[in-house]
Chains A and B, each alone.
Chain A
């Protein structure tokens, strides 16, 4: 308490912080970035280990024998799919019944807010088929899910075949203590959403789910996808389980499509793990579900997607082996006595065998956030200290603050109204835009969003001028203090829910918040501000993501991709309740507008 009560020490500390404010901020920013980059360096990370005792050893004997038959079933499924021109519901029901499952179907229909041009769908009608393998000697209270999406074209037939093969094999085993639900969902996530909405209300709990994607008879490696809706991740033990069984059975396994490397001390090894981690960060920040498992997480179900990848390497794995991998994982999950809760929920993975937990990555964000607090403290001290000229040291705070309330409140309200417009207008104005402009549906939505966004930039010139005539020196300081604290709280909350998103936003918005004043040169600062605005951050992220995936694209394609990412964001919000779009539109963008406002304070 010495610091809080001793005025001399307080004064010394505060004067130190205000005098060295700028250098400390720069150092903090650097340190934050360096810390973040250091996370991918293997000695700084932790080795993954299984925390859940019930899944502790991999001592089960996997004997799945019928890989070839599964592939044959897959081919049969493909033929029926082609014949029906969609999901062969009758065939699936018959096949599942023949394998001794309790079979149910569920039809659903959903109308999208606007036609989705990426996947060419607007009014979606579909059917989910699922069969339940009842646990022979247990109450029907707990279940595991194995799902495979039924997609159009030639994709994923092998996954359905393997799923049916596993169903048949599991049926003949006696050790199941939990029901196993075999689900084939149509229209990927929309079907999954429909299934979850109906089935989560019905008692009994699902403890874990895996979604399977396999598109060729022979694969070279298995890829694990963890990122779910709003950047939520499953319990790390699920990833550990996958990794442990891959090691045991001898399947090449990857995360973010990147193989594990042993040369962490070399430059290329380090850059490899940075790449892997950055891919995870970008995917998590997008807030999209990156596999069909993504929606399970919302219901407290630990889930992941397992993708079979055929990259024409030498190393081949047949369907038998994948079947054994899944068998092993399900037998271990079957042993669970309670929900997975021991291991981490907040982590980043620079490789499948190493992870960075929340305690290690939060300081990187904390170092950035501290800049905002330091700036706020600096502003507070400036506001509280008497203006030069009055010597008596007495400041009539009342007099000073009252006229500013209006000039601070107006930009706040106006920028938030712009945010509300950005949130509502794109979908509601879509019809009108279509009538007047030669654009397609998706383009109408996205371009309206961009138009509103840009229009917001024109507002600050007029906001306070028409209220209080002239902005005072004092006025912008108060506004900036409010804006900086607002941003700090906003980023802090975002980083807790979705670290990656919070960190990326902090990386771009914190410098803006730190340097903007009305006295910096207008044109270059405005340029920097626009470059670091949320929309541009998204644009750069799109290119950066492509670069990380080693499929660089031209600017033209990048722009098209950018537009589709925005429309996807809006769709994800209205379909699955992804929070990224409303967060950006209703909170981050208005907050950025406040800084834009300060720059043009006159």
Chain B
């Protein structure tokens, strides 16, 4: 296990190092698919320069990262390659999580089942961490995002740490990392629900709203979460000496003033809209992201890890400034659900569409911006298709997961009452 992992790491680091040295790095760092106004390294550099001059980094509406990030780079960096190092380490962080995941999957095996086919053998599970690491480290999306020095890599690392600590069952660290992730980009707030579900499950606390023990645990977690969030926000205030960063970071994320095209759904919609509808639709779009938490948590009450995957996917599809780095994070989970492959229905169609869209993004961008012959509609059409494909992918996995659960309890080969073979239909 260790040897292939080391090889993989060496390969991944070599690819990134080679790309850093090549002329492609600058090109990649400019791509709107890879960097967003929030995560662009160019803007971080600008923020650092302002900070060095003694001006607030948020003056001038360029820098939108959180204060902790800028201080992190302020102390750590001054080497051009540091981000690369950090990102490479981030990537490594994801790996150990999956060692844990293996344990979780073993637990899942205790299901009282008659259909052995559906249960993963320990041998299969043995390779899952390696596959996850491979999926993340060698995913072109991750590589692009890393070479562009997008701070998205750091956010991913924080979320990865959160998942790791949660699965390990460390309540305090889980809350701290979750608050750090929330502090970074608000949206991971929705991961609260799966974290709570998982931790209660682990501590054998029944999810029952009438039980005191449940509420006591929720209160504990909420206290730790809000407490560390409060500490971070205050720390940022004391570091900067002003509250400038609140509108500049969170206001920027929530009110979406920057309509630079990206792979998300916001820019075109809000660029076309009449100004007086803006607030209303802004609320609709933002609530949309948080809203899925409730139905998904109810449906996936028993399976918080899958819920985490679903939430990450929903966030990266619907967030206001998505980049390919966000997508890479939830794609890295796919090998974990390799036992669902037999129930997937549209995977061929979806992967074709995702592939084609990824190739078409730069082409249509070229036609629109450089050649001047196409227009924004072309690019947005591809964005739309890309997101529809992602939604199909996620819902396909969701369906496959539910169907597996169904088979686990009712047997793999369903029979109708009259004895003929039955099929499951999603309606």
The digit string for A1-20, where 1 denotes a CB below 8 A from any CB of B, is: 00011111010000000000
Within 8 A of A (CB), among B386-427: 392, 423-427
CB pair B367 A8 closer than 8 Å: no
In the assembled complex, B372 has its CB within 8 A of some CB on chain A: yes
Q: Please pick, from B117, B345, B367, B425, the residue contacting A496 in the complex, using a CB distance under 8 A.
A: B367
CB pair A485 B423 closer than 8 Å: no
- Cβ–Cβ < 8 Å partners of A588 in chain B: none
The digit string for B26-55, where 1 denotes a CB below 8 A from any CB of A, is: 000000000000000000000000000000
Please report the C-alpha to C-alpha distance between residue A395 and residue B338 in the assembled complex, in whole angstroms: 13
CB pair B345 A497 closer than 8 Å: no
Assuming the A-B contacts A7-B425, A232-B373, are A493 and B341 also in contact, with contact meaning beta carbons closer than 8 angstroms in the complex?
Answer: no
Stretch at the interface among B224-232, B299-307, B323-331, B357-365: B357-365
Within 8 A of A (CB), among B232-246: none
In the assembled complex, A377 has its CB within 8 A of some CB on chain B: yes
CB pair B372 A496 closer than 8 Å: no
CB pair A4 B346 closer than 8 Å: yes
For the complex formed, measure the closest distance between the CB of B52 and the CB atoms of chain A, giving whole angstroms.
30
Q: Which chain A residue has the least Cβ–Cβ distance from B396? A: A4
Q: Which chain A residue has the least Cβ–Cβ distance from B348? A: A380
- Cβ–Cβ < 8 Å partners of B346 in chain A: 4
CB pair A7 B424 closer than 8 Å: yes
- Cβ–Cβ < 8 Å partners of B363 in chain A: 493, 496-497
- Chain B interface, >50% SS class: helix
- Cβ–Cβ < 8 Å partners of B367 in chain A: 496-497
In the assembled complex, A545 has its CB within 8 A of some CB on chain B: no
CB pair A373 B352 closer than 8 Å: yes
In the assembled complex, A488 has its CB within 8 A of some CB on chain B: yes
The digit string for A361-386, where 1 denotes a CB below 8 A from any CB of B, is: 00000000000010011001000000
For the complex formed, measure the closest distance between the CB of B338 and the CB atoms of chain A, giving whole angstroms.
7
Please report the C-alpha to C-alpha distance between residue A5 and residue B396 in the assembled complex, in whole angstroms: 10
Q: Please pick, from B117, B341, B356, B424, the residue contacting A492 in the complex, using a CB distance under 8 A.
A: B356
In the assembled complex, B287 has its CB within 8 A of some CB on chain A: no
In the assembled complex, B366 has its CB within 8 A of some CB on chain A: yes
Within 8 A of A (CB), among B325-355: 338, 341-342, 345-346, 348, 352, 355
CB pair A6 B352 closer than 8 Å: no
- Cβ–Cβ < 8 Å partners of B366 in chain A: 497
CB pair A397 B342 closer than 8 Å: yes
In the assembled complex, B111 has its CB within 8 A of some CB on chain A: no
Please report the C-alpha to C-alpha distance between residue A492 and residue B367 in the assembled complex, in whole angstroms: 14
Please report the C-alpha to C-alpha distance between residue A283 and residue B427 in the assembled complex, in whole angstroms: 53
- Count of A-B residue pairs with CB < 8 Å: 61
Within 8 A of B (CB), among A224-283: 232-233
CB pair A300 B364 closer than 8 Å: no
- Cβ–Cβ < 8 Å partners of B426 in chain A: 5
- Cβ–Cβ < 8 Å partners of B425 in chain A: 5-7
In the assembled complex, B371 has its CB within 8 A of some CB on chain A: yes
CB pair A493 B355 closer than 8 Å: no
Assuming the A-B contacts A4-B346, A492-B360, A497-B363, are A376 and B373 also in contact, with contact meaning beta carbons closer than 8 angstroms in the complex?
Answer: no
Q: Which chain A residue has the least Cβ–Cβ distance from B372? A: A300
In the assembled complex, A398 has its CB within 8 A of some CB on chain B: yes
- Cβ–Cβ < 8 Å partners of A373 in chain B: 352
CB pair B364 A496 closer than 8 Å: yes
For the complex formed, measure the closest distance between the CB of B372 and the CB atoms of chain A, giving whole angstroms.
4
Please report the C-alpha to C-alpha distance between residue A544 and residue B278 in the assembled complex, in whole angstroms: 57
CB pair A4 B360 closer than 8 Å: no
- Cβ–Cβ < 8 Å partners of A4 in chain B: 345-346, 392
In the assembled complex, A489 has its CB within 8 A of some CB on chain B: yes
In the assembled complex, B61 has its CB within 8 A of some CB on chain A: no
For the complex formed, measure the closest distance between the CB of A124 and the CB atoms of chain B, giving whole angstroms.
26
- Cβ–Cβ < 8 Å partners of A300 in chain B: 371-372
In the assembled complex, A170 has its CB within 8 A of some CB on chain B: no
Assuming the A-B contacts A4-B346, A376-B352, A397-B341, are A232 and B371 also in contact, with contact meaning beta carbons closer than 8 angstroms in the complex?
Answer: yes
For the complex formed, measure the closest distance between the CB of B49 and the CB atoms of chain A, giving whole angstroms.
25
In the assembled complex, B370 has its CB within 8 A of some CB on chain A: yes
Please report the C-alpha to C-alpha distance between residue A2 and residue B367 in the assembled complex, in whole angstroms: 35
- Cβ–Cβ < 8 Å partners of B59 in chain A: none
- Cβ–Cβ < 8 Å partners of B109 in chain A: none
In the assembled complex, A345 has its CB within 8 A of some CB on chain B: yes
The digit string for A160-196, where 1 denotes a CB below 8 A from any CB of B, is: 0000000000000000000000000000000000000
For the complex formed, measure the closest distance between the CB of A171 and the CB atoms of chain B, giving whole angstroms.
31
For the complex formed, measure the closest distance between the CB of B130 and the CB atoms of chain A, giving whole angstroms.
12
In the assembled complex, B374 has its CB within 8 A of some CB on chain A: yes
Assuming the A-B contacts A298-B370, A345-B373, A493-B360, are A8 and B423 also in contact, with contact meaning beta carbons closer than 8 angstroms in the complex?
Answer: yes
- Cβ–Cβ < 8 Å partners of B124 in chain A: 398
CB pair B352 A485 closer than 8 Å: yes
Please report the C-alpha to C-alpha distance between residue A450 and residue B337 in the assembled complex, in whole angstroms: 48
Please report the C-alpha to C-alpha distance between residue A297 and residue B370 in the assembled complex, in whole angstroms: 10
Known contacts A5-B426, A233-B373; 17 further A-B pairs (Cβ under 8 A):
A7-B345, A7-B425, A10-B345, A232-B373, A300-B371, A345-B371, A345-B372, A373-B352, A376-B352, A397-B341, A398-B338, A489-B356, A489-B359, A490-B359, A493-B359, A493-B363, A496-B374
Closest 10 CB pairs of A and B: A345-B373, A300-B372, A5-B426, A493-B363, A489-B359, A380-B348, A7-B423, A489-B356, A493-B359, A496-B363
8 A-B residue pairs with Cβ-Cβ distance under 8 Å, sorted by A, are: A6-B425, A7-B345, A232-B371, A300-B371, A489-B355, A490-B359, A492-B360, A493-B360
